[in-house]
Amino acid sequence: MFIFQPFGNVDNEDLEELKTHISDRILASPSEIIIMNSIPIPPDAYAPERDQYRASSFLNTLRANDEMLYLGTRSAQRHKEENNYKILGVVDLDLFTPELNYIFGQAEISGNYAIISLSRLHDVSHEKYISRMVKEAVHELGHTFGFHHCPDPKCVMHFSNSLADTDYKNETYCDVHYKELVKIRERKGVSN
């Protein structure tokens, strides 16, 4: 199960497009992806000295609100008990970490939580914007599957230093990461 959790003002139509485009890339059926209602920006996220938002605050909020994010269905509870879920936060604000001036996203390696920022992905055609959003989401979810950065510049797991890097890479995993994803999803009892 994959949960998309928007923070603040995020266009729901963009999230629906993300859901449509991402499902085959992460070996999930659209019914496995749930879009939640937006929740407020964490109060400790904003760093006025940088006029940016701390990515860690969003990840901490996802972690802290984990129980509230679930719909209360038996299916959701089963995924929770089996640790077979990922929560992707989505925000349209400029994020940073102490080590980097800005980031497109951040995730827990082999964890359940990731966040992507749409803020720097705009100002292009709608098609290119959606492609960038998909790449960032697939990349960060890849980290939650345990994937590290890939040396292949076309693999979605390649580190993006800039939007040019993001635009250059594919929306999909390279063969190595794709095969690993198939194994992971099969171990979790998900067949494609």
Task: Look at residue 176 and tell me whether its pLDDT is greater than 70.
Answer: yes
Q: Which residue has the higher pLDDT, 66 or 90?
A: 90
CB-count exposure of residue 148 (10 Å: 0-12, 13-18, 19+): exposed
Whole-number Cα distances in Å, 48 to 8, 43, 70 = 18, 12, 32
User: For residues 144 and 108, what is the distance between their CA atoms, to the nearest angstrom?
Assistant: 6
Q: Does the pTM of the predicted model rise above 0.75?
A: yes
Domains of the chain as residue ranges with CATH:
2-186 (3.40.390.10)
With tokens 């099969």, the residue in question is 186
> Would you call 123 helix, strand, or coil by DSSP?
coil
User: For residues 114 and 86, what is the distance between their CA atoms, to the nearest angstrom?
Assistant: 8
- Catalytic option among 16, 17, 127, 140: 140
Q: Residue 98 corresponds to which tokens in the numbers above?
A: 């102490």
Residue 67 — left, alpha, or beta (φ > 0 → left; ψ -120 to 50 → alpha)?
A: alpha
Task: Look at residue 11 and tell me whether its pLDDT is greater than 80.
Answer: yes
Under the banding of pLDDT at 50, 70 and 90, the label for residue 191 is: very low
What are 90-115's pLDDT values in tens digits?
A: 999 999 999 999 999 999 999 999 99
Longest Cα pair distance anywhere in the chain, in angstroms?
Answer: 48
Whole-number Cα distances in Å, 8 to 34, 36, 91, 139, 158 = 17, 12, 7, 22, 28
User: For residues 173 and 171, what is the distance between their CA atoms, to the nearest angstrom?
Assistant: 7
Asked which of 5-19, 68-82, 92-106, 129-143 is least confident by mean pLDDT, the reply is: 68-82
Task: Look at residue 21 and tell me whether its pLDDT is greater than 90.
Answer: yes
Average pLDDT over residues 31-59: 96
Annotation marks residue 140 as catalytic? yes
What are 113-134's pLDDT values in tens digits?
A: 999 999 999 999 999 999 999 9
